[in-house]
Amino acid sequence: MFQGFGLFIILLGVLVTVHELGHFLVAKACGVKVLRFSVGFGPKLFGFTKGETEYQVALLPLGGYVKMAGDSPHEELEPGDAERGFLNAPPWKRALIVAAGPGASLLFPVLIYFFVFVGAREATSTKVGFVDPAMPAAAAGIRAGDRITAVEGEPVRTFEDMREAFIGRFDRPIPVTLEREGKSQTVHVTPRRIVESSPVDSVERGLIGVQPIRRPAVVGVPPGSPAAQAGLRSFDRVLSVNGVSILDEAALHAEAVKHEGVLELTVQRALPVEVGAVTGHVPSVVTVKVPKQPGADGFAALGAEPSDMYVAAVFPDSAAQKAGLQAGDRLVSFNGEPLRSFNVLAGELSTLKDKPFSLTWRSAGDGQEHTQTLAQSVRTSKDEIGTELSRLELGLRPWIPSVAELSPEDTVTVNVGVGEAMRDAVVVVPRIVGQMVKVIGGLITGNVSPKTLGGPVMMYQLASKSAEQGRDSFLHLMAIISINLGVMNLLPIPILDGFQLLSAFWEGIRRRPIPVRVREMANVVGLILLMALMGMAFFNDITR
C-alpha cells in the first residue's frame, strides 16, 4: 500500500512539476516576475527562496501553480514591478506563458517514450505458434514454426509489427515473406477484414489467422463419437500419448501418426465442485484408452475434433443464452456458411454490429442441430479497476488456455537506435493526443460514458498496477496522464490555461481585454463546471 502511495506521489509530482516548469521558464524568459513556484496546493510543507522567487512543496499533491506578479486584475504592483506584471505583458507574451504549461505536458511524453523505445528489449517474435485452420494463412500454406519476415515488402521483427502491418490491408492478395527451415519464400495471403472498435475510434485491420502461442491439445467430443464412447469429454487436454509428452497440437499430430491400435491417453480434465451456492472446477488427471481411427491423424485419430468451435461459457442474459446455447455446444454455421474458427465468427460479428444473423449449433446433450436468428446485444462489464465498459456481444466464449497451459512464446531481442526511437516517440504522441480529443468530444456529445472518468483513487490504482507490470508500463501511464493533463488544460474553460490563452488572443485581436465583470462571471461558471467534473470523477472512484 505504502509503495503504491509513493508511486502515486512520484507520478503526480513529476507531471505537475513538468507542467508548471513550462509556465515558469517561459515567464522568466518573457521578463515576467515570478513570485512563487509551487508543487501542490494548500499549506507549505517545505521550501526555499532564491532570488525573487519562492520555491515550495505544498500538502495537497493534486496540482500546482506558478504565482506571477500582476496576474489578478485587482492586484496592485509596486512601481518597479509594473512593467513586469503578467497582465501588463503584451498579449503574445501572455499567450506564450500560458501555452507553455500544456506544451510541456505534451512534449514530456515524447521524452518518456524515447526512453521506453530506445535500446534493447525483448518482444514476441513473428514465429508462428498456431495457424487457424479456417483462416487465410492456412489456405496460403503458412504452417506452425514458420517465421514471417515481411508483409508486402515491409520488414517485420515482432508480432506487434506484423499486426500493425495489416492495418488497411485486407480483401486482396498480400505477399507475405516467411522463413521455413532456413529458406526464404513468399506466399500470397488474402486477409479477412475486421473492425476493431473502442470508445475512441475504429480500426480496419486484415486478419490472417496466426498466433504466436503454441496451443495445448484440447479436444472437442461430438455426442456418440468414438472419443465419447471411450470416455473422452470436450475440453479434455491431452498430456501424453502412449507415455510420450504432448505439449501442443503439433505434437499431438506428430505422435498420433506413429501409432496404431489402442492409444493410451493421459488427459487433464476440469471436474465441477460445488462450494455452497457456487460451482467451481478443479483439475484432475485421467487415463483414457481410445482406439485409433484408421487413416486419420491428430484429433481425428482419437475420434474427436479440435475444441475451436465448442462453446466454453455462455454469459447470463446474453443473446446466446436467450437463444438456448449452453456450454459444450458446438457452433456449426453462420448465415448458412460452415464455421471452423471463432476468429471467423468474431470477424463477421465485428462488421455486422447489431444486425440479425442466422446461427446453427449442435447441442452437447442430444447432438441435435438448432438454427435461430440472433442479434448481438449490449453487454456491460467492469475492467480490473472497476470502469464500466459497454460493447455489443453475442455472449459466448470459446475455450481459452490459461497462461500456465501455454508453452513459452518465441522472443526476439529488438535493438532500437536513437533516431528510430525518437521518430517512433514523435509519431505515437500525436496519435494519443488525437484519441484524447475524441474522448473529450465523446463525453460532450454523450458517445462516451462519463463513468469512464476517474480521479485520484483511479490514478492510485493505475500507478500501483502499472508499477507491478514493470518500468515501461509505469512510464507509459505517466505519458498518458501527462498528455491528458496537457489536452484538458487547453480547453477554453475559465480557471484552466485554455481560457487564459483565449483571453490573450481576444486582446490581441480586439485590442482591449475581456471586461473584468465578464471574466469574473466566467471564472464562477468555470469553477462550477470544474467542481462538477471533479465530483463526477470522485463519485466514480467511490463506486469502483
Q: List residues with catalytic annotation.
A: 20
Handedness of CA 231, 237, 239, 244 (dihedral sign): positive
Cell match 485520484: residue? 456
Q: Please tell me the distance from the alpha carbon of residue 303 to that of residue 123, in angstroms, as a whole number.
A: 38
Residue 155, strand partner residues: 150
Q: Please tell me the distance from the alpha carbon of residue 207 to that of residue 189, in angstroms, as a whole number.
A: 10
Give the 3-state secondary structure of residue 230. helix
The cell for 183 is 529458406
Those residues whose C-beta lies under 8 Å from the C-beta of residue 450, and which sit 6 or more positions away, are 443, 536, 540
Handedness of CA 94, 98, 103, 108 (dihedral sign): positive
Phi-psi region of 303 (alpha: psi -120 to 50; beta: other; left: phi over 0): left
Q: Please tell me the distance from the alpha carbon of residue 421 to that of residue 432, in angstroms, as a whole number.
A: 17
Contact 143, 436 (CB under 8 A): no
Cell match 513473428: residue? 126
DSSP-derived secondary structure letter, 292:
P
Q: Please tell me the distance from the alpha carbon of residue 476 to that of residue 466, in angstroms, as a whole number.
A: 8
User: What single string gives the DSSP state of each residue in 383-420?
Assistant: -TT--EEEEEE--EEE----GGGSBPPPEEEEEE-HHH
Cell match 503458412: residue? 142
The cell for 20 is 508548471
Q: Please tell me the distance from the alpha carbon of residue 99 to that of residue 85, in angstroms, as a whole number.
A: 17
Residues shown for the chain: 544
Contact 175, 211 (CB under 8 A): no
Q: Please tell me the distance from the alpha carbon of residue 462 to that of residue 541, in angstroms, as a whole number.
A: 12
- Between CA 84 and CA 95, with CA 89 as vertex, the angle to 5 degrees is 130
Give the 3-state secondary structure of residue 391. strand
